[in-house]
Amino acid sequence: MGCCVSTSSRSTFSTGSHEVGASPTCFEIGFCGQKRTKRTFSDHVIAQQYLSLVPNRIFTNGKSRTSCIFTQQGRKGINQDAMIVWEDFMSEDVTFCGVFDGHGPHGHHVSGKVRDALPLKLLSSMHSNQSRQNGSGRTCFKGNSKKSDGSNSEKDGSADDRLNSLWREAFMKSYKAMDKELMSHPNLDCFCSGSTAVTIVKQGSNLFMGYIGDSRAIMGSKVGNDSMVATQLTVDLKPNLPREAERIKRCKGRVFASQDEPEVPRVWLPFDDAPGLAMARAFGDFCLKEYGVISVPEFSHWLLTERDQFIVLASDGVWDVLSNEEVVEIVSSAPTRSSAARILVDSATREWKLKYPTSKMDDCAVVCLFLDGKMDSESDYEEYCFSSATLQSNHPGNAVESDEGQKSEPSLHRNFTIRPSEESDSYGRLPPEFEGNVDTVAGEEQNWSGLERVTRVNSLVQLPRFSEERPNP
């Protein structure tokens, strides 16, 4: 069954210094009804190497019609955080947002790969689910732009349940397919490297969320006399949660905190004090997938109201030093909406220096999505307003010089993702057309340890000893 892509002549994208009439401002899923060779929806829409040309998709410091995003490298090596906002994701009323925090020797490659591939897999899964449920040769997915009026009619309830079911299945399928692709990737070693993911789809007044790991999403809402309240939308999926620890132990994995870090439970192999993963769910980390660490996302559905103002997605570099309430206050008081993400990262940077002056700051990535669909008419931060057609994911302006020679400090009361501050050759950037197409580097990385040249342990404490004997893919 063939599929067609809706286009709009109003959209342009930049290539260098020229404006070119582009492919669509929105990707509306529709079926033409013709008999064609079987292909996935992502094949029809766009190949990964052309993602940088897609309009209304940003993945570097900048803003869009309804959002702003910003990331800054910490002081432990290359930035392993990735982020994305993709407006007109399936129709003009659907927006996809995500933040991905990599860890391990190849974590930056994993997070970049997930950022690029996961949205396409979600599109493909949603297409497949709708095709099966409709059972006809023609259908078109449209965003629900109507706000909820509180109606409890059976018809509306049935439609909402069906939509919720479609998205739940799409999230589950796409996360499973993403982890499977990482496992079989010929040039990306995910044995002891992985990534978190917090992803949302806003469709009209509906908010659908899928997430793994300890990246977090919150919402700022107005209450009373225009005061703001924070609502945490996701749960940090760490081994300290009883249900997560129970699953891991049932699979023969071990959960305990090290003497150096008694407040942070970690996941360990049954036969080795490694790798010490500080989260219970993640993409990659295949050395622990047989021992209870999973990539199955938690899924939730939230019905938005007019009181809800914005959503913030961020990696743990932000949440380690700022509370949900502080984040909402910072974003709501930003002088311009387009500067909110940058100001939040700047605030987190200051808090790191104040609260933990001898600890090396973690990477920070922030997505701010404003729910009324409005941004500033003029921004004080136009220099950051770049489209994904002109920038690559590892923007050199995001780097912060590493500082060596820091002394150790007592245990902190939060869980950090910390990496060696001295970059090795393997931390080079990927070609822009394909994030994951890089050969695995042997040598010193086989002895990589999260304890080397850092003031705190890593999300992975150390690599398993037997990993040294694994042949290169």
Q: What is the CATH number of the domain that holds 254?
A: 3.60.40.10
Helix (H) or strand (E) holding 157: helix 154-184
Distance (Å, whole) CA 124 – CA 41: 5
Per residue in 231-262, pLDDT (tens digit) is 999 999 999 999 999 999 999 999 999 988 89
Cα distance from N-terminal residue to C-terminal residue, the chain: 36
Average pLDDT over residues 126-130: 80
What tens digit of pLDDT does each residue of 390-433 get? 333 334 334 444 343 333 333 333 333 333 333 333 333 344 44
pLDDT of residue 461: 66
Which pLDDT belongs to residue 159? Answer: 80
Does the residue 2 lie in any domain?
A: no
Residue 29 lies in a domain: no
CA–CA gap between residue 121 and residue 51 (Å, rounded): 13
Asked whether residue 198 is domain-assigned, the answer is yes
Domain that holds residue 271: 59-425+435-469
pLDDT tens sequence across 261-310: 899 999 999 999 999 999 999 999 999 999 999 999 999 999 999 999 99
pLDDT of residue 452: 34
Q: Is residue 248 part of a domain?
A: yes
Whole-angstrom Cα distance, residue 459 to residue 457? 7
Burial class (CB in 10 A: 0-12, 13-18, 19+), 400: middle
Q: Say if residue 455's pLDDT is above 80.
A: no
Most confidently predicted of 9-23, 86-100, 133-147: 86-100
Pairing of strands 216-223, 62-63: unpaired
Mean pLDDT computed over 89-98: 91
Structure tokens at 143: 């965003």
Predicted local confidence at residue 383, as pLDDT: 43
The fraction of the chain above a pLDDT of 90, given in percent, is 54
In a domain, 30, yes or no: no
Q: How far is CA 329 from the centre of its chain?
A: 23
> What is the pLDDT confidence band of residue 462, given thresholds at 50, 70 and 90?
low
Q: What is the pLDDT of residue 156?
A: 64
Tokens of 411: 């245990």
Indicate the burial class of 298 (C-beta count within 10 angstroms; 0-12, 13-18, 19 or more): middle
Contact call for residues 302 and 210 (beta carbons, < 8 A): no
Residue 226, class by beta-carbon neighbours within 10 Å (0-12 exposed, 13-18 middle, 19+ buried)?
A: exposed
DSSP code at position 371: T
Domains of the chain: total: 1
| Mean pLDDT confidence for 17-28 | 37
Backbone angles phi, psi at 396, to 5 degrees: -65, -25
Residue 374's Cβ-count burial label (10 Å; 0-12, 13-18, 19+) is exposed
276: CB partners within 8 A, 6+ apart: 258, 266, 267, 268, 450, 457, 458, 460, 461, 462
Question: Residue 155 — pLDDT band, cuts 50, 70, 90?
Answer: low
> 42 lies in a domain?
no
Structure token digits, residue 325: 């309430």
Calpha distance 312→354 (Å, rounded): 23
CA 431 to chain centre: 20
Evaluate whether residue 22 is within a structural domain: no
| Per-chain mean pLDDT for the chain | 75
pTM: 0.74
Residue by residue, DSSP assigns 169-236 as HHHHHHHHHHHHHHHH-SS---SS-EE-EEEEEEETTEEEEEEESS-EEEEEEEETTTEEEEEE-S--
Strand partners, 367: 69, 313
Nearest to 88 by CA among 145, 144, 143, 27: 27
Cα 76 from Cα 401, distance rounded (Å)? 9
**Contact of 78 with 427, CB cutoff 8 Å:** yes
> Does residue 254 fall inside a structural domain?
yes
Task: Take residue 153 and report the two structure tokens written for it.
Answer: 């009619």
